[in-house]
């Protein structure tokens, strides 16, 4: 990838100001003598926090801009950004955890156009920019960084604990029954280690992982929505069975006591300290664990996402979403753009892969990157088993106007999972059926609102009757 010159990034710099900090947990990166601009950068990438802190220092020096970098745990990031937006103090650069589709973020003033120089925009591979996902009306509003080929429910494990229980770390379980049996062997072994830890306090991650497990089990869609019909069906048996599986594990004492209050970062940190054998997490687990307990990476093993009967999994993901935005109220858009553009350079991309967070847009980079073998193995599984999903907004960009009229449905799947395992939700099937109805109603009213405003869109845009399981969806020419 080409390197981007400071001259091309900062041409036409506008008014400069120093922004007050909303949080005090960041680290200031000095820009050297004469610096008059101060930028704030927030993100939630646990595995990348050390790399990003160093990158902020590097860019502070290279661009002559003082950058205040702050890492926020994913469980707290959404609320922090909502509060910052309400007070018009959004950080200049921030990661995507808001939960709103890009059209809504643009319409409500959350984001500023990213006017990347041509050389920076061209640095990412073909397919990085998609109308309604990273661009609106041809204008770029979000930078994609990561590959779509990934999921959040790989089965990470502590090799030492697994081996001590008489299990083969080179033959990870593939089915629900095999996984349960492995946990029971760890419990029977005795000792201080729990069989498994789960980040039940992180409802967003619980939602992601059950979505993944249901899809791997055969749900013909994603996030509750069936590809062929476009209808939401969270009450499908694949969802019910996946949640009941976790409920059984919890009720059998196989999940670490107190997991109900653990955020993702808390659960991963405790797992890396040796308190449990297994920990379901995404590829970022490797980098996140390395950040908190560097020596622990030598004990990490990984298996692919589970399926009920142990058959090889296939999952589906759409176009890579935006990972970084520029705040709609930034006073320094040119300088914030310079920071965003630096993320397209070769040096940044190499650091991104080595951080072992989500795999980079170009998965082939991982093979030669400085990563542990389990991370490389997992990315290989992603490349083989994660297929391209059909997407309404890709087929018809007018769907973006529907997305702009939609609001997050609450309580969502993660809330239901947490409530059911904790005992507050008694009727799982009923709660999932209600979630489906609310999701359908929200989407339907948004379609009606968009068409009333002139959008050329209908419910038919959400149905892909020709979709074939196990294959990549190819965008029509």
pLDDT in the model for residue 298:
96
Higher pLDDT among residues 34 and 41, named by residue: 41
Q: Is residue 90 scored above 60 in pLDDT?
A: yes
Cα 208 to Cα 391: distance, rounded to the nearest angstrom? 18
Helical ranges in 217-363 per DSSP H:
237-251, 264-272, 285-292, 333-342, 346-354
CA distances from 213 to 151, 197, 245, 457, 467 (A): 9, 17, 10, 31, 20
Q: Which two tokens stand for residue 151?
A: 């999921």
pLDDT in the model for residue 475:
78
pLDDT in tens, 378-429: 999 999 999 999 999 989 989 989 988 988 899 999 999 999 999 999 999 9
pLDDT in tens, 97-135: 887 888 889 989 999 999 999 999 998 877 788 888 899
Q: How many CB atoms lie within 10 A of CB 380?
A: 13
pTM exceeds 0.75? yes
Q: Which of 320, 209, 323 is nearest to 264 (CA)?
A: 209
Cα 352 to Cα 49: distance, rounded to the nearest angstrom? 11
Cα 155 to Cα 453: distance, rounded to the nearest angstrom? 46
Cα 24 to Cα 265: distance, rounded to the nearest angstrom? 19
Q: DSSP readout, 321-360?
A: ---EEEBTT-S-HHHHHHHHHHTTSHHHHHHHHHTTSSPB
Q: Is residue 51 scored above 50 in pLDDT?
A: yes
Cβ atoms of 276 and 284 within 8 Å: the answer is no
Q: Which of 287, 264, 217, 304 is nearest to 418 (CA)?
A: 264
Q: DSSP readout, 142-182?
A: -B--B-S---S-EEEEEHHHHHHTT--TTS---BHHHHHHH
Q: Which two tokens stand for residue 234?
A: 């969270």
């Amino acid at each position: 990838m080409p390197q981007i010159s400071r001259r091309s990034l900062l041409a036409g710099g506008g008014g400069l100001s120093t922004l007050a900090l909303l949080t005090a947990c960041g680290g200031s990166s000095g820009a050297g003598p004469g610096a008059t601009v101060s930028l704030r950068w927030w993100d939630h990438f646990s595995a990348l926090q050390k790399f990003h802190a160093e990158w902020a220092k590097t860019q502070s020096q290279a661009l002559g801009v003082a950058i205040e970098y702050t890492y926020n745990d994913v469980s707290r990031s959404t609320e922090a950004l909502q509060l910052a937006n309400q007070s018009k103090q959004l950080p200049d650069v921030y990661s995507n955890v808001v939960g709103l589709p890009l059209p809504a973020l643009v319409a409500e003033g959350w984001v500023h156009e990213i006017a990347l120089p041509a050389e920076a925009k061209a640095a990412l591979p073909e397919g990085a920019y998609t109308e309604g996902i990273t661009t609106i009306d041809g204008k770029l509003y979000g930078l994609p960084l990561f590959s779509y080929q990934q999921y959040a429910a790989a089965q990470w494990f502590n090799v030492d604990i697994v081996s001590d229980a008489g299990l083969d770390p080179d033959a990870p379980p593939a089915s629900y029954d095999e996984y349960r049996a492995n946990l029971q062997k760890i419990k029977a072994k005795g000792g201080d280690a729990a069989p498994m830890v789960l980040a039940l306090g992180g409802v967003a991650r619980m939602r992601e992982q059950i979505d993944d497990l249901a899809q791997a089990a055969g749900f013909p869609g994603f996030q509750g929505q069936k590809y062929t019909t476009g209808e939401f069906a969270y009450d499908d048996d694949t969802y019910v069975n996946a949640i009941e599986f976790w409920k059984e594990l919890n009720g059998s004492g196989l999940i670490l006591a107190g997991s109900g209050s653990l955020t993702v970062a808390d659960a991963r940190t405790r797992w890396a300290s040796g308190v449990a054998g297994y920990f379901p997490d995404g590829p970022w687990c490797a980098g996140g664990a390395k950040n908190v307990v560097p020596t622990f990476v030598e004990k990490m093993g990984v298996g692919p996402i589970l399926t009920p009967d142990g058959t090889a999994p296939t999952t589906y993901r759409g176009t890579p979403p935006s990972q970084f935005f520029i705040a709609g109220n930034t006073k320094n858009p040119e300088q914030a753009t310079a920071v965003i553009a630096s993320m397209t350079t070769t040096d940044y991309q190499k650091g991104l892969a080595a951080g072992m967070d989500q795999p980079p847009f170009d998965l082939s980079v991982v093979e030669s990157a400085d990563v542990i073998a389990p991370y490389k193995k997992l990315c290989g599984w992603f490349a083989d088993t994660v297929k391209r999903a059909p997407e309404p907004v890709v087929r018809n960009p007018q769907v973006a106007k529907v997305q702009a009229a939609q609001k997050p449905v609450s309580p969502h799947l993660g809330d239901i999972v947490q409530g059911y395992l904790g005992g507050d939700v008694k009727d799982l099937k009923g709660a999932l059926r209600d979630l489906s109805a609310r999701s359908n109603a929200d989407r339907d009213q948004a379609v009606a609102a968009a068409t009333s405003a002139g959008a050329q869109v209908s419910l038919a845009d959400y149905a892909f009757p020709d979709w074939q399981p196990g294959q990549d969806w190819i965008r029509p020419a």
